[in-house]
Structure 1
Amino acid sequence: MIFGRPTPQIVDHDQPQLVMPCYHRIFGDPMDRDFPGAQVAYFAMGCFWGAEKLFWQTDGVLSTAAGYMGGSNRNPTYEETCTGLTGHAETVRVVFDPSKVSYRQLLAVFLENHDPTQGDRQGNDVGSQYRSALFTTSEEQAAAARDALAEFGPKLAVAGYGPITTTVEPAPQWYWAEDYHQQYLDRVPNGYCPVHATGVTCG
């Protein structure tokens, strides 16, 4: 039982990706568009609505999307992910121009705008889908992520926070979230998705 409800049956969806990419509401491009010379990074930092907005507002970012990563099922739905049984984390896909913004600068956005010490939660959002994780696409990203966490941990400790729980993992399969989640806070400007910043900065 989960919260008094029958445990839902979680299945692998063998069909192709359930959600096809659409046009980005902010940038106007197809969300699966290739950008020559661009790089891709994946950030899980709690509710993906607010996290995606942070990144689409960052100079040098070319595209963003909400999706699911890090679980055991293929083509998870939002409802399945929210049970915590699939193991997926709400994740933001960020396509960026490395000549205008570095991965290290994107890591600062990530670290400064959530609490990376809370384990499977962000504030009142509780569950493994809200965990803090960095899904890296290269060894260079993985090294930068580990270095940033090592530098940020002592700063959090001085401010009274516990150990960082953020995981650094090679990027697994990416699954697009349903269309209504994409750029949600542009569709619903007053939608609920608070940023759980600690006030600790990377600078």
Structure 2
Amino acid sequence: MIHSRFKNRLPDADEALAGRPRPAFEVPDRHTVLGNPLLGPYPDGLETADFALGCFWGAERVFWRQDGVWTTLVGYQGGTTPNPTYEEACSGLTGHTEAVRVVHDPAVVPYTTLLKLFWENHDPTQGFRQGNDVGTQYRSAIFTHSPDQHTAALASRDAYQATLKAAGYGDITTEILPATHNHFYPAEPYHQQYLDKNPAGYCGIGGTGLSCPIGLTPTSD
């Protein structure tokens, strides 16, 4: 099958699907849990963060449960095909990974707290998979929206790598890339807040059990 060729590598530009100039569907107006709009422009003072940590159903729930998060939505990011569908992203022929956009109040929940949630809720050493979910669309990634975010993401990766290495894990494979060059395309309506609509639905999110040291300060003797 042609799709099976792209479970373990990203497609070259000439192999990727052409996509479409406009989305194939409309995104719902509001978050089913938080009640706020899914799409911007967002209120002043809020910030946006994008994460990919495996199946976006469970990943989104991790973030909407956090105090200070104003809205979340799931989508496709890090690929080349414009306005992909779920089936196209799952084929491996768009280059996208399943991502979660998190709009938050940094005065309540700083970006470093979101990074800690990100690292602790998946295994970032698995490459093109997350647990039993196999394919490039499940790869780990952070898409940053500012130089400060980028610096914090790199620092958190290095801190968590030391923790993982001490516990016998391999190298982190997480991509850390600017969101400006990796457009976020919202996913279909039925994917948005999927586990709120289907509480017994598949989650697929599970971490290593190791705490990320980001934000922790050593205590004095």
Structure 1 segments unaligned to the other structure (5+ residues): none
Q: Could you tell me whether the CA contact under 8 Å between 2:74 and 2:99 is conserved in 1?
A: yes
The Cα of 1:159 is off from its aligned counterpart by 1.3
Task: Decide which of 19, 26, 29 is 2:25's aligned counterpart.
Answer: 19
Q: Deviations over 1:47-96 (max 9, x none)?
A: 00000000000111000001000111100000000011110000000000
Counting aligned pairs with the same residue, the percent is 52
Asked whether 1:31 is paired with 2:38, we answer yes
Moved more, 186-195 or 137-146: 186-195
Residue aligning to 1:41: 49
Partner of 2:188: 178
Return the alpha-carbon distance in structure 2 between the equivalents of residues 173 and 3 of structure 1: 23
SS of equivalent to 2:62: helix
Counterpart residue type for residue 136 of structure 2:
S
Shift of 1:125: 0.3
Matched, 1:136 2:147: no
Q: Distance in 2 between matches of 1:55 and 1:107?
A: 11
Task: Output the CA distance in 1 between the equivalents of 2:55 and 2:27.
Answer: 20
Q: Which moved more, 1:126-135 or 1:190-199?
A: 190-199
| 1:149 maps to which of 149, 153, 157 | 157
> TM (normalized to structure 2)?
0.86
Whether contact under 8 Å (2:54, 2:204) holds in the other structure is no
- Counterpart of 1:55 in structure 2 is 63
Unmatched segments (≥5 aa) in structure 2? 5-15, 214-221
Q: TM-score, normalised by structure 1?
A: 0.94
Q: Residues 53-202 of structure 1: matches in 2 within 5 Å?
A: 53-171=61-179, 172-202=182-212
| d(CA) in 1 for partners of 2:137, 2:3 | 16
User: Residue deviations 1:122-181, cap 9 Å, x none?
Assistant: 011001100000000001000000000000001011111100000100012110100000
| SS of residue matched to 1:105 | helix
One-letter code aligned to 1:120: F
Q: Secondary structure at the match of 1:150?
A: helix
Structural RMSD (CA): 1.7
Letter paired with 2:138: Y
For residue 210 of structure 2, what is the amino acid of its counterpart?
A: V
CA–CA separation in structure 2 for the residues paired with 1:17 and 1:102 = 32
User: Deviation above 6 Å: which 4+ runs of structure 1?
Assistant: none
Match of 2:17 among 10, 13, 24: 10
- Separation in structure 2 between the aligned mates of residue 167 and residue 195 of structure 1, nearest angstrom: 18
Q: Is the 1:65–1:94 contact (alpha carbons within 8 Å) kept by the matching residues of 2? A: yes
- Alignment partner, residue 13 of structure 2: none
- Aligned-residue offset at 1:35: 2.0
Task: Kindly provide the CA deviation profile for residues 90-133 of structure 1, in whole angstroms up to 9, marking residues without a partner as x.
Answer: 00000000000110110000000000000010011001100000
With 28-37 and 156-165 compared, the bigger mean Cα shift is at 28-37
